Amino acid sequence: AYMFLNGKLIERTKGKIDVEDRGFQFGDGIYEVIAVYGGRPFALSDHLDRLFESAKKIYMEIPYSKKELEDGIHRLLHVDKREHCYIYIQVSRGISPRNHIIPQRISGTVIIYLLDPIREKENWKRRGIKAAITEDIRWLRCDIKTTSLLGNVLVKQKAVEKQASEAILHREQRVTEGSSSNVWIVKDGLLRTHPADQFILNGITRKQILAISKQQRIPYVEQSFTVDELLGADEVFITSTTMEVTPVVEVDEVKINEGKPGLLTKKLQWLLEREIQSQCFD
Ligand code: PLP
C-alpha cells in the first residue's frame, strides 16, 4: 500500500512524522474521509471545499491547490487499485518547536492514504443499529473537521460500553449529532435534523440527503429536536460518508418503529445509493 506524504508517493510503512509535528502534539490539523465506489471518489469536490473551509477557520494554509490534491488522489487510486475504500486526507499545521502560539512561515504536513471499508456496514444498513444517548462534551467549534477528536473518542467509547454502535449527543437535552455522524428523525412524515451551525459538522452526506429531499419533495426542516422527541420519533437514522444512511432501531433500550428500519429511512437509503451509482458507475 502507498501513501502521499508532502507530495511524494511512498510506501505506507516508510512514512515518518516528526515528534514536533503539531498534528501529533496538539491535534492541530484537519482532515477529510472520502468514499470510493467503483474506483471513483464520491462528492470529491464537496470534501475538498470543506477541507479548505476548515483550514481557513483555523488560520492554516494548505500547501497545495484543490487541483493538486485531486491529482494526488487519482494517482494514489491508480497505484492502489480498489473498487471500494475510503480516502483519508490530513493536513496538520506542520513542524515547529513545541509552543501553543501558531507559528508563522511553516508548511503543513499533508498525508493521503486509503482506508478499508467498515466490515459491518451492509449489515448495519439493512438491520439498523443501536445508539446510546450521551452528553455532548466536545468544544464549541464542531463545525471544523479537526483531528482533535478526543471528545468524539470518549463519547464513542461510552456507547461501545453500552453495546451500542453510535453515540447520539445532546447539549442540555437538545440533540446535536452522532460521534461521527449526523442524526435525523422522522415524525408524522417530517424529516428533521440539527441546523448547520457551530454545534455540528455539516456532513457531506447530510448535504446530499437535504438535496435529495428537496428534489423528491420530501418535507424537511433543519431544526434541532430534544432527546424526548428523538425517543418518540417514528424513525431515526444517521448519515455519514462511511455509514451512508443507517437506520437507528434502538436508542438506550427504547425501540424505534418496533425495532425495524423505517420506510422513509429505507427510501432515502435507496435514493442515496442511486446518486452514488450515477456519479461513480455510469
Ligand atoms: N459529524 C461528525 C462529528 C463526523 O465526524 C462526521 C463524519 O465522520 C459526520 C458528522 C458526517 O459527515 P460526512 O457525511 O461528511 O461524512
Beta strands 220-222 and 190-193: pairing type?
A: parallel
Contact, 242 vs 182, CB < 8 A?
no
Calculate mean pLDDT across residues 202-207.
98
269-281 residue pLDDT tens: 999 999 999 999 9
Beta strands 29-37 and 8-11: pairing type?
A: unpaired
**pLDDT at residue 196, rounded to an integer:** 98
Banded pLDDT at 282 (limits 50, 70, 90): confident
**pLDDT at residue 49, rounded to an integer:** 98
Which residue in this structure is represented by grid cell 506542520? 94
Rounded Cα–Cα distance for residues 76 and 73 (Å):
5
Name which of 217, 171, 166, 212 is nearest 194 in CA terms.
171
Residues 6 or more apart whose CB falls under 8 angstroms from that of 79 comprise 2, 9
Residue 206 CB–ligand 1 contact under 6 Å:
yes
3-state secondary structure of 151: helix
Overall pTM surpassing 0.90 (yes/no): yes
Banded pLDDT at 246 (limits 50, 70, 90): very high
Query: Which residue has the CA at smallest separation from atom 1 of ligand 1?
Result: 181
- 124 beta partners: none
Calculate mean pLDDT across residues 55-82.
97
Q: Which of 240, 243, 272, 275 to mutate to test the pocket of ligand 1 (most atoms within 8 A of CB)?
A: 240
Rounded Cα–Cα distance for residues 42 and 84 (Å):
11
Calculate mean pLDDT across residues 131-141.
98
3-state secondary structure of 73: helix
Spacing of C-alpha 178 from chain mean position: 10
Query: Which residue has the CA at smallest separation from atom 10 of ligand 1?
Result: 181
Calculate mean pLDDT across residues 43-65.
98
67 included as an active-site residue: no
User: In sequence order, what DSSP letters do the residues of 60-71 get, joined into one string?
Assistant: ---SS-HHHHHH
Inter-helix orientation angle 263-280/204-215, to 10°: 100
Rounded Cα–Cα distance for residues 204 and 210 (Å):
10
Q: What b/e readout covers 24-60, taking b as 16+ CB neighbours within 10 angstroms?
A: bbbebbbbbbbbbbeeebbbbebbbebbbebbeebeb
- Gap from CA of 105 to ligand 1 centroid (Å): 31
Is a pLDDT exceeding 80 seen at residue 98? Answer: yes
Active-site residue (options: 125, 130, 145, 156): 145
Calculate mean pLDDT across residues 82-108.
97
Element (H, E) at 177: strand 174-178
Is a pLDDT exceeding 80 seen at residue 76? Answer: yes
The number of the ligand 1 atom at minimal distance from the alpha carbon of 179 is 3
Alpha helices, DSSP H only, in 13-65? 22-26, 44-57
Residue 51's region, left for phi above 0, alpha for psi from -120 to 50, else beta, is alpha
What whole-number percentage of the chain has pLDDT above 70?
100
Delineate the domains of the chain, giving CATH numbers in brackets: 2-115 (3.30.470.10), 121-280 (3.20.10.10)
- Gap from CA of 274 to ligand 1 centroid (Å): 20
C-alpha cell of residue 178: 452522532
